[in-house]
Amino acid sequence: MSDYVIILGIETSCDETAAAVLRRGPGGTIEILAEKVHSQIDEHAPYGGVVPEIAARAHADITDRVIAATLEDSGLSLAEVDGIAATSGPGLIGGVMVGMMTGKALAMAAGKPFIPINHLEGHALSPRLGETCPFPYLLLLVSGGHCQFLEVTGLGSSRRLGSTIDDAAGEAFDKLAKTLGIGFPGGPAVERLAMQGDPARFELPRPLLNRPNLDFSFAGLKTAAARVVENESLDDQGRADLCASFQRAVTDCLSGKTKRALEDFKGRHDGAIRFVVAGGVAANKTIRAALEMVAEDAGAMLIAPPLRHCTDNAAMIALAGAERLATGLVDETGLAFAARPRWPLDETSAQADPAYGGGKKGAKA
């Protein structure tokens, strides 16, 4: 194989239809030749959350066009790529199926390897899209679907240090926004109102904050905030105060656990400590500032990929595919891979820990 690997990446596991063409060069240099993201926000907004059936249909409508436009932008034809990588789990299974089957069909038609990618591996590698970020590093992935710490030690080797045992942080923001009727996605709407609010006005819980582990829980906080909406007739100021109080509680949970995670990580690794934060919630300025402070206090370097690579995108999927192809972590079984709604990156600890829920479909986290 030449020193260069060119991969078409496809991402359809939630509410973004995305494609990217990426070239990996000698020594692991990365060049994104083209990338496109089509967001379904307008389709889901009337429901205040992502509706899986609507998402699957919207992906089916547009995935081939997003891929065609991305290839055209890259100036390459399908015959010129070395492999096709698509998110094959975890995520909303209808959407995952659309992207994975499209990827498989293109791979078969072009006679290229199909590389099934774990969406979480894409997020884990995302800081390496824009800068040199040597392994190992600590990653906090905080989005609408995930809230977990990963110790990323290499390609295909990440250890989950802790995770939410119920809702993801972004999901809690979205639910509060839905209860208040202030729009979708909820995070930015809550953040906007919180700017005018008093974070000390409502006393809300910080679940699991004082437990000596790296797990999160946001269901109780979400319910407590919903109860305030139910029981008090909030005026505009009251709603802003509730948003600010809620945001403060989430911030305390994230920064408190990050402090603990960094201490734990530092105890096991020498040299420069890198802390990467990814996922849509990382866009929140209050949360970002708090994490920056915790990182600084711990002497760690905070790396926050640009927002377009922090949220769901196909460049990170293409990168995972390129790294796998370049290092020989690809075999002929790709075409036979069955999409997985649940697919923990670190299968061993997910299965060992009943807190994350087992069940027929496997561990949730």
Residues making contact with ligand KG4 (CB under 6 A) = 14, 143-145, 170-171, 173-174, 185-188, 191, 279-281, 283-284, 311-312
For Zn ion, give the closer residue by CB, 95 or 334: 95
- Measured from the CB of residue 282, what is the shortest distance to Zn ion in angstroms? 12
- Measured from the CB of residue 47, what is the shortest distance to ligand KG4 in angstroms? 14
Specify the stretch interacting with Zn ion by CB under 5 A; choose among 153-161, 180-188, 223-231, 312-320.
312-320
What value, to the nearest 5°, has the Cα angle with vertex 235 and ends 234 and 239? 65
Q: What's the token pair of residue 118?
A: 């774990």
Q: What's the token pair of residue 163?
A: 């995770």
Contact 124, 139 (CB under 8 A): yes
Of these partners, ligand KG4, Zn ion, none, which one is at the site of residue 89 (CB under 5 to 8 Å by kind)? none
Specify the stretch interacting with Zn ion by CB under 5 A; choose among 51-59, 170-178, 307-315, 334-342.
307-315
For ligand KG4, give the closer residue by CB, 103 or 185: 185
Specify the stretch interacting with Zn ion by CB under 5 A; choose among 22-30, 64-72, 212-220, 308-316.
308-316
By CB under 5 A, the count of residues binding Zn ion is 1
- Measured from the CB of residue 123, what is the shortest distance to Zn ion in angstroms? 6
For ligand KG4, give the closer residue by CB, 122 or 334: 122
For Zn ion, give the closer residue by CB, 118 or 251: 118
Q: Strands 5-11 and 16-24: what pairing?
A: antiparallel
For ligand KG4, give the closer residue by CB, 112 or 342: 342
What letters, b where the CB count within 10 A reaches 16 and e where it falls short, cover 274-300?
Answer: bbbbbbbbbbbebbbebbeebbeebeb
For ligand KG4, give the closer residue by CB, 40 or 63: 40
The edge-to-edge listing of strands for the beta sheet with 301-303 is 157-163, 147-154, 137-142, 274-278, 301-303
Q: Within a 10 A sphere around the Cβ of 332, how many other Cβ atoms?
A: 8
- Measured from the CB of residue 190, what is the shortest distance to ligand KG4 in angstroms? 6
- Measured from the CB of residue 72, what is the shortest distance to ligand KG4 in angstroms? 25
Phi and psi based region of residue 88 (left: phi greater than 0; alpha: psi -120 to 50; beta: remaining): alpha
312 scored as a contact of Zn ion (CB under 5 A): yes
For ligand KG4, give the closer residue by CB, 99 or 186: 186
Between the alpha carbon of residue 71 and those of residues 23, 32, 79, 320, the distances in Å are 13, 12, 11, 18
Of these partners, ligand KG4, Zn ion, none, which one is at the site of residue 284 (CB under 5 to 8 Å by kind)? ligand KG4
Locate the DSSP E strands across the chain.
5-11, 16-24, 30-39, 83-89, 114-118, 137-142, 147-154, 157-163, 274-278, 301-303
DSSP type of residue 216 = B
DSSP type of residue 47 = G
Q: Give the Cα separation of 249 and 229 in Å (integer).
A: 16
Of these partners, ligand KG4, Zn ion, none, which one is at the site of residue 40 (CB under 5 to 8 Å by kind)? none
Of these partners, ligand KG4, Zn ion, none, which one is at the site of residue 217 (CB under 5 to 8 Å by kind)? none
Residues near Zn ion (CB under 5 A): 312
